[in-house]
């Protein structure tokens, strides 16, 4: 595959939002380039190992469908797991990361998408109703033009490079470095003794609370979950290469401290690390200043926006930087939040969209909107809008909502307000 000089749509970032956006644009007939910094699609689901997406369902009602749901279901079928039909066990919907990544490749290529890994945006400029994007590849800069651009980096990197305003919170949620561990029997461990040993090691400066726990309660959850999504890492400025480098290095330092501590404990002499995710899972960096901002009140009240493009369904879920828990609030019975088109559009921009956790939203609302299922739904909405904009020459903000929704329905998405939703 050679990068072409011109595309209808360029999607920057191939995580759960970006891969769905690119597939949607490609299936809609747009020539599409997907630019991804890592070696595989899926982002947090695959590269960071957080492979339990939530939520496709609100109770017994499915609220997110479309391309993301299609890929999840294909992964279930491929791996012999039942396809969920309700929210039963919803938080633990397991998705095999390796198979999901392979199916994502297949779906993108089948949609006619050009996929380039190990690449990042270097510059973006808008003129004559088109974007010029400089892409930094392993062999140098390549310049590409596009009718519409989607920033699915999670960090609003493309939006920031293009010069649009970003919102930078003073404190961001911690990250997590997922790994897999074995060499012990959880049922035979003395949890009280492990907690005391951990407290002593923390007091001696040999271990940090956040190396082994979210809540300062010792290594029990980490060991029972065999390393899945069980630690916290401070992650300031992780939208930058420098900040991201710092959190990745600290993640492996934390892993080494945890490993050295656990190997000294009775029953854990053979403790070992079987796998380590290539990057930490980042929960929060920056958001765009959008044409609409989803407030926490809007989210928790289930506000129905006139320009709603998809649903979201997840509790407020703000992980605390001190390693002492989560600010968590379930949604009230019957509340079903929506995501408006305006939250995916950077203020003062033209033919530029975002999809994923950097949408315009207040911090507590963002702690719910950032998870994988709504990111998939946002990605499909952004892909549809970008395809329509490139086709018609109409800015995403000015597209008729019924045209957007018609395309999304055609490709299986669930539309807020539809009687079948």
Residue 284 to residue 367: CA distance in whole angstroms: 8
Q: How confident is the model at residue 88 (pLDDT cuts 50, 70, 90)?
A: low
Categorize the per-residue pLDDT at 130 as very low, low, confident or very high, splitting at 50, 70 and 90. very high
- Per-residue tokens: 235: 């992650």
Mean pLDDT across 406-414: 98
pLDDT for position 355: 98
Dihedral sign for Cα atoms in the order 292, 298, 300, 306: negative
Rounded to an integer, what distance in angstroms lies between the CA atom of residue 326 and that of residue 300? 17
Q: Tell me how far the alpha carbon of residue 331 is from its chain's centroid.
A: 21
Average pLDDT of the chain to the nearest whole number: 96
What pLDDT score was predicted for residue 1?
A: 85
Domain segments of the chain as ranges: 6-170+284-318+326-410, 179-276
Cβ-based neighbour number of residue 93 at 10 Å? 22
With residue 11 as reference, give the H or E element that holds it: strand 6-12
Q: Which residues pair with 62 in a beta bridge?
A: 57
Q: What is the rounded distance in angstroms from the CA atom of residue 98 to the CA atom of residue 91?
A: 20
pLDDT(6) > 60? yes
Distance between CA atoms of residues 33 and 12, nearest Å:
8
Cα–Cα nearest to 47, from 122, 115, 118, 114: 118
Residue 308: both structure tokens together: 């709603």
Under 8 Å between Cβ of 12 and 157: yes
Q: What's the mean pLDDT in 243-268? A: 98
Check pLDDT > 60 for residue 228.
yes
Model pLDDT for residues 372-383, shown as the tens digit of each residue: 999 999 999 999
pLDDT of 93 above 90: no
**What is the pLDDT, as a whole number, of residue 87?**
63
**Cβ distance 302 to 384 under 8 Å?**
no
* Better-scored residue on pLDDT, 401 or 91: 401
**Stretch 132-144: mean pLDDT:** 98
Q: What is the pLDDT of residues 16-71, one digit of tens each?
A: 999 999 999 999 999 999 999 999 999 999 999 999 998 999 988 999 999 999 99
C-alpha to C-alpha distance for 282 and 96, rounded to whole angstroms: 20
Which 8-state DSSP code applies to residue 89? T
Identify the bridge partners of residue 68 per DSSP, sorted by sequence position. Answer: none
Structure confidence at residue 321 as a pLDDT band (50, 70, 90): confident
Rounded to whole angstroms, the Cα distance separating 360 from 370 reads 11
Segment 228-237 mean pLDDT = 94
| CA-wise closest residue to 410 among 64, 71, 66, 17 | 66
Q: Tell me the whole-structure pTM to 2 decimals.
A: 0.96
Q: Is the pLDDT assigned to residue 267 strictly greater than 80?
A: yes
Q: Which residues does 323 contact at the CB level (< 8 Å), separation at least 6?
A: 174, 208, 209, 210, 213, 214, 215, 216, 232
Residues 6+ apart with CB under 8 A from 120: 12, 35, 37, 135, 136, 157
pLDDT at residue 324 in the model: 78
Structure tokens at 276: 């380590």
Q: Is the pLDDT of residue 141 over 70?
A: yes
CB 223 within 8 A of CB 305: no
Q: What are the tens digits of pLDDT across the range 37-50?
A: 999 999 999 999 99
Res. 89: pLDDT tops 60: no
By CB atoms closer than 10 A (0-12, 13-18, 19+), residue 129 is exposed
Residue 421 pLDDT: 52
Alpha carbon distance, N-terminus to C-terminus of the chain = 39
Q: Is the pLDDT of residue 348 over 60?
A: yes
CATH of domain 6-170+284-318+326-410: 3.50.50.60
Number of residues that make up the chain = 421
Instruction: Assess whether the previous peptide bond of 55 is cis (omega < 30° from 0).
Output: yes
User: How many other β-carbons are positioned within 10 Å of the β-carbon of residue 25?
Assistant: 34
């Amino acid at each position: 595959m050679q990068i072409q000089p011109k595309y209808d749509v360029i999607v920057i970032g191939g995580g759960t939002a970006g891969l769905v956006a690119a597939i949607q644009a490609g299936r809609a007939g747009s020539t599409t380039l997907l630019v991804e910094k890592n070696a595989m699609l899926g982002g947090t689901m695959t590269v960071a190992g957080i492979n339990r997406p939530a939520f496709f369902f609100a109770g017994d009602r499915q609220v997110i469908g479309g391309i993301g749901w299609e890929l999840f279901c294909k992964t279930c079928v491929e791996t012999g797991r039942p396809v969920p039909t309700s929210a039963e066990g919803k938080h633990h919907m397991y998705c095999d990361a390796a198979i999901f990544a392979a199916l994502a490749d297949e779906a993108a290529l089948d949609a006619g998408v050009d996929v380039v890994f190990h690449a990042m945006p270097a510059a973006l400029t808008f003129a004559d109703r088109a974007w010029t994007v400089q892409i930094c590849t392993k062999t140098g800069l390549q310049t590409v033009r596009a009718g519409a651009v989607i920033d699915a980096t999670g960090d609003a990197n493309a939006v920031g490079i293009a010069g649009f305003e970003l919102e930078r919170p003073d404190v961001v949620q911690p990250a997590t470095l997922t790994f897999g561990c074995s060499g012990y029997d959880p049922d035979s461990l003395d949890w009280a003794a492990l907690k005391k040993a951990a407290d002593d090691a923390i007091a001696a400066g040999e271990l940090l609370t956040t190396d082994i726990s979210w809540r300062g309660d010792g290594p029990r959850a980490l060991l029972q979950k065999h390393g899945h999504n069980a630690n916290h890492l401070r992650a300031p400025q992780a939208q930058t290469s420098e900040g991201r480098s710092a959190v990745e290095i600290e993640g492996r330092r934390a892993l080494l401290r945890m490993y050295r501590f656990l190997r000294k404990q009775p029953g854990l002499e053979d403790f070992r690390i079987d796998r380590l995710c290539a990057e930490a899972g980042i929960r929060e960096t920056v958001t765009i200043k959008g044409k609409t901002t989803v407030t926490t009140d809007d989210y928790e009240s289930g506000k129905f926006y006139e320009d709603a493009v998809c649903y979201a369904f997840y509790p407020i879920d703000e992980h605390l930087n001190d390693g002492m828990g989560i600010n968590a609030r379930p949604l009230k019975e019957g509340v079903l939040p929506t995501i408006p088109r305006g939250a995916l559009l950077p203020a003062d921009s033209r033919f530029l969209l975002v999809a994923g956790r950097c949408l315009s939203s207040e911090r507590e609302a963002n702690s719910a909107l950032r998870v994988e299922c709504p990111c998939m739904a946002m990605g499909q909405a952004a892909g549809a809008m970008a395809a329509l904009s490139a086709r018609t020459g109409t800015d995403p903000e000015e597209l008729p909502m019924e045209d957007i929704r018609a395309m999304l329905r055609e490709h299986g998405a669930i539309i807020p307000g539809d009687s079948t939703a």
